[in-house]
Amino acid sequence: MSLFITFEGIEGSGKTTQISRLAAYLRARGLDVVQTREPGGCPIADTIRAILLDAANTALVPAAELLLYAAARAQHVAEVVRPALADGRVVLCDRFTDATLAYQGFGRGLSLPQINSLNAMARGATVPDLTLLFDLPVEIGLGRAFRRIAGTAGPAEDRFEQESVAFHQRIRQGYLTLADREPQRFRKIHAEADADQVFAEVVAVVEQCLRQRGRS
Ligand code: TMP
């Protein structure tokens, strides 16, 4: 039986550390896990990611940004996520359709119905079974993200970290609104805690999900 879990949250929420830990935990438990991310996850979508996150691309307009996220997702779902789920694997994906609603919708102010249509086109019937929302105050998340960037030598992948605090506040509130609208699918994780405590919460939520699906 397949399982599709997505990881969402503002910058610096720690979700990328947690997804790797969860992948290792589930593999040790004998599950066949695919760990992937958006934008990206396959060569064509990784090429689109490079355009989207390049800090030099200040001229990218919001509509083009939205369409590029949708294009990357369509490719990634068709090439990676859907085949893995069809093979009965567990797919852990760092960001998915909710990120587009939060960032391009609540953050940039683009039309939520239009984003829903594009999301539906890109993902087809592939909908997450569980979405973990790593929630924490924006100031703490951005502080962590800036410290991470300062410690990296590679090309600048920080187009979003350059946005205002108000932009990130809208994204946080947007995610919380989405979680309230779909309480069955979303689980809020208290991401302000230290990494071990956060991981314990993640494992508890995922184990409960596995029990409900008869995989314990
Ligand atoms: P990451 O920080 O999780 O690697 O995600 C890359 C950036 O892309 C992050 O700032 C959030 C942003 N993003 C969107 O704006 N819309 C989307 O649909 C996705 C998947 C990511």
What was the pLDDT predicted at 147? Answer: 86
Is residue 182 within 8 A of residue 127, CB to CB? The reply is no
Q: Strands 33-37 and 130-135, how do they pair?
A: unpaired
Ligand 1 binding pocket includes 39 (Cβ within 6 Å):
yes
The protein residue whose alpha carbon is closest to atom 13 in ligand 1 is 99
- Written as six digits, the tokens of 132 are 């973990």
- Tell me the pLDDT band of 159, cut-offs 50, 70 and 90: low
**30 C-alpha to ligand 1 centroid (Å):** 30
**50 C-alpha to ligand 1 centroid (Å):** 12
**Rounded Cα distance, 102 and 36, in Å:** 20
Ligand 1 binding pocket includes 103 (Cβ within 6 Å):
yes
Pocket test for ligand 1, best of 160, 161, 162, 164 (most atoms within 8 A of CB): 160
Handedness of CA 47, 148, 25, 186 (dihedral sign): negative
What angle do helix axes 62-76 and 43-53 make, rounded to 10 degrees? 160
Residue-wise DSSP of 143-176: HHHHHHHHT--SS---TTTTS-HHHHHHHHHHHH
**99 C-alpha to ligand 1 centroid (Å):** 6
Structural domains of the chain sorted by starting position, each given as residue range(s) with its CATH number in brackets: 3-212 (3.40.50.300)
Using CA atoms in the order 212, 39, 180, 107, what is the torsion angle rounded to 10 degrees? 170
pLDDT tops 80 at residue 209 = yes
Instruction: Put the strands of the sheet holding 130-135 in their side by side order.
Output: 33-37, 90-94, 3-9, 130-135, 186-190
What was the pLDDT predicted at 215? Answer: 65
For residue range 18-50, list pLDDT tens digits in order: 999 999 999 999 999 999 999 999 999 999 999
Query: Cα–Cα distances in Å, from 101 out to 61, 85, 113, 176?
Result: 17, 23, 9, 11
Ligand 1 binding pocket includes 100 (Cβ within 6 Å):
yes
Tell me the helices (H) and strands (E) count for the chain, helix number first.
9, 5
The protein residue whose alpha carbon is closest to atom 2 in ligand 1 is 11
Instruction: Among 121-125, 150-154, 206-210, name the one with the lowest average pLDDT.
Output: 150-154
Query: Cα–Cα distances in Å, from 83 out to 79, 110, 168, 182?
Result: 7, 31, 34, 26
For residue range 75-107, list pLDDT tens digits in order: 999 999 999 999 999 999 999 999 999 999 999
**215 C-alpha to ligand 1 centroid (Å):** 31
- Tell me the pLDDT band of 146, cut-offs 50, 70 and 90: confident
